[in-house]
C-alpha cells in the first residue's frame, strides 16, 4: 500500500546509466544525447518521478520559499494582499510561508528570526503598529535575504517598499468633497505616530490650501481608531463652531462607528462621508460613504512579490538602488447610493 517516492538513483539503476546523466537528462543538459534523454524522461514520467525538493533545497542552499509577515490576516486588506502574493509566487514556482505578528513588536522580531532560520529566500513584511526599531531586519539583510516592505512600511530611506499613495489619494478625496460644495470638511485621522496619519493630513492640507481655503487644524482630529475614540471625535465635530458638512474617516471601521453614531444622533443626513476602503460590504450600508479610497491590495501584493523575486534573482552584488514603489490609490465614488 505504501509507496516510496521514485528517485533519480532508481531511474539510473533501471536504465543502467549514472544518476548524473539522469539529472542532466531531466534538465535538458546539452551533453546528454537525445535518445537517452527521451528514455529518461519517459521512464521518469511512467514512474511518476517527482524531484525531492528537500534534497534540491539542501543541495542548492535555496529554499524557493518566501516568507510573509503581516499584522493580522483577518483584516481584509491583508487577506487580499497575501492572496495575491500566493498567486504570484505560485506562478514563479515559489512557496509562501507566512506568520502574523498580531501587531506585537516582540512577536515580529521572533518571527523574523524564525523565517531567517527557515532560510527563506526573501521576506515580505508589513510591519506591526508598534514597531519603531528595525534592527531585526538588518540582521536578515546581513544574511543576504532581501526584504520588501508593503503597505505598512518603516520610515527608512534604505529599504525596498511598496505602498499606496495616500497623500495624493487624500487630495483627490478632499477635492471631490470641495467640488460637491462642502466648505467645512472634517477629518478623523489616526494616531500621530503613524506615517499613514501624516500622509492623510498632508493630503488634506494640500487640497484645502490649493483651493485657496484656510486650513483649520481643529478640523483634523487624531483618534485611536476605536469606537469610543470615533464617537469622541464625532461629538467634537457636532459642537464645532464651523460644523463640518463632510468628514474624511481614517478607514472603514472608523466610518462604520461614525455612521452608527450619527444615525443614533439623527444627524446622519447632515454629512457626506469619505473613507479608505477595507470593508468590502460597507457600500451596502444605508448611509454608506459617498466615496472610498481604494488602495488595491491585490496589486500591492503582486508588485511586492515581484520586486522581491527580482531581488532574489539579481546578482547579490551591492545593488545600491532601492525599489520605492507607490501604488496610486483611487477615489471610488459609491454608485450604489440611492
Partner DNA sequence: GAAAACAGCGCAAACGTTTGATTAATTTTG
Partner DNA sequence: CAAAATTAATCAAACGTTTGCGCTGTTTTC
Asked if residues 89 and 66 have their Cβ atoms less than 8 Å apart, the reply is yes
End-to-end alpha carbon distance in the chain: 63
Cell digits of residue 257? 462607528
What is the total residue count of the chain?
338
Stretch 128-167 residues interacting with a second copy (CB under 8 A): 142-144
Output the CA torsion sign for 297, 303, 308, 312. positive
Per-residue interface string for the shown chain with DNA, residues 247-266, x marking contact by CB under 7 A:
--------------------
Stretch 4-33 residues interacting with DNA (CB under 7 A): 5, 7-9, 16-21, 23-24, 26-27, 30-33
SS3 content of the chain, % helix, strand, coil (to 5): 45, 15, 35
Question: What does the radius of gyration of the chain's CA atoms come to, in whole angstroms?
Answer: 26
Residue 98 engages a second copy in binding (rule: CB under 8 A): yes
Asked if residues 328 and 165 have their Cβ atoms less than 8 Å apart, the reply is yes
Q: What is the DSSP string of 128-155?
A: -TT----HHHHHHHHTT--EEEESS--S
- Nearest to DNA of 5, 280 (CB atom): 5
Residue 96 engages a second copy in binding (rule: CB under 8 A): yes
Q: Nearest distance from residue 86's CB to a second copy, in Å?
A: 6
Question: Which one of the spans 49-57, 102-110, 285-293, 298-306 is the region binding DNA (CB under 7 A)?
Answer: 49-57
Nearest to 279, CA basis, from 71, 80, 70: 80
Q: How far apart are CA 234 and CA 238, in angstroms?
A: 6
Among 286, 315, 320, 321, binds a second copy (CB under 8 A): 286
Cell digits of residue 3? 509507496
Residue 245 engages a second copy in binding (rule: CB under 8 A): no
Residue 34 engages DNA in binding (rule: CB under 7 A): yes
Residue 60 engages DNA in binding (rule: CB under 7 A): yes
Question: Which one of the spans 189-197, 204-212, 236-244, 274-282 is the region binding a second copy (CB under 8 A)?
Answer: 274-282
- Sites of contact with DNA (CB under 7 A): 5, 7-9, 16-21, 23-24, 26-27, 30-37, 49, 51-52, 55-56, 58-61
Question: Rule CB under 8 A: which residues touch a second copy?
Answer: 1-3, 5, 50-55, 57-58, 61, 63, 65, 72-74, 76, 79-80, 82-83, 86-87, 90, 95-100, 116-119, 142-144, 256, 259-260, 279, 281-282, 284-286, 316
Amino acid at each position: 500500500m505504501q509507496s516510496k517516492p521514485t528517485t533519480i538513483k532508481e531511474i539510473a539503476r533501471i536504465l543502467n546509466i549514472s544518476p548524473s546523466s539522469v539529472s542532466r537528462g531531466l534538465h535538458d543538459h546539452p551533453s546528454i544525447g537525445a535518445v537517452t534523454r527521451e528514455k529518461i524522461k519517459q521512464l521518469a514520467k511512467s514512474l511518476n518521478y517527482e524531484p525531492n525538493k528537500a534534497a534540491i533545497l539542501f543541495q542548492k542552499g535555496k529554499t524557493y520559499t518566501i516568507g510573509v509577515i503581516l499584522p493580522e490576516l483577518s483584516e481584509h486588506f491583508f487577506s487580499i494582499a497575501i492572496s495575491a502574493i500566493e498567486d504570484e509566487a505560485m506562478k514563479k514556482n515559489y512557496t509562501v510561508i507566512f506568520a502574523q505578528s498580531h501587531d506585537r513588536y516582540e512577536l515580529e522580531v521572533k518571527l523574523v528570526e524564525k523565517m531567517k532560520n527557515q532560510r527563506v529566500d526573501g521576506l515580505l513584511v508589513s510591519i506591526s503598529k508598534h514597531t519603531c526599531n528595525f534592527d531585526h531586519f538588518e540582521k536578515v539583510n546581513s544574511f543576504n535575504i532581501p526584504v520588501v516592505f508593503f503597505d505598512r512600511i518603516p520610515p527608512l530611506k534604505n529599504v525596498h517598499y511598496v505602498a499606496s499613495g495616500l497623500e495624493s489619494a487624500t487630495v483627490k478625496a478632499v477635492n471631490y468633497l470641495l467640488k460637491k460644495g462642502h466648505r467645512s470638511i472634517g477629518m478623523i485621522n489616526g494616531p500621530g505616530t503613524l506615517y499613514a496619519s501624516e500622509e492623510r493630513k498632508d493630503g488634506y492640507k494640500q487640497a484645502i490650501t490649493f483651493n485657496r481655503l484656510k486650513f483649520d487644524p481643529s478640523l483634523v482630529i487624531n483618534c485611536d481608531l476605536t469606537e469610543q475614540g470615533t464617537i469622541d471625535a464625532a461629538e467634537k465635530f457636532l459642537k464645532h463652531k464651523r460644523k463640518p458638512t463632510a468628514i474624511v474617516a481614517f478607514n472603514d471601521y472608523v466610518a462604520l462607528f461614525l455612521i452608527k453614531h450619527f444615525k443614533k444622533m439623527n444627524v446622519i443626513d447632515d454629512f457626506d462621508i469619505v473613507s479608505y476602503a477595507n470593508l468590502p460590504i460597507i457600500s451596502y450600508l444605508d448611509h454608506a460613504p459617498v466615496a472610498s479610497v481604494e488602495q488595491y491590495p491585490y496589486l500591492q501584493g503582486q508588485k511586492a512579490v515581484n520586486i522581491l523575486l527580482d531581488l532574489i534573482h539579481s546578482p547579490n552584488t551591492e545593488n545600491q538602488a532601492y525599489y520605492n514603489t507607490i501604488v496610486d490609490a483611487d477615489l471610488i465614488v459609491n454608485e450604489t447610493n440611492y
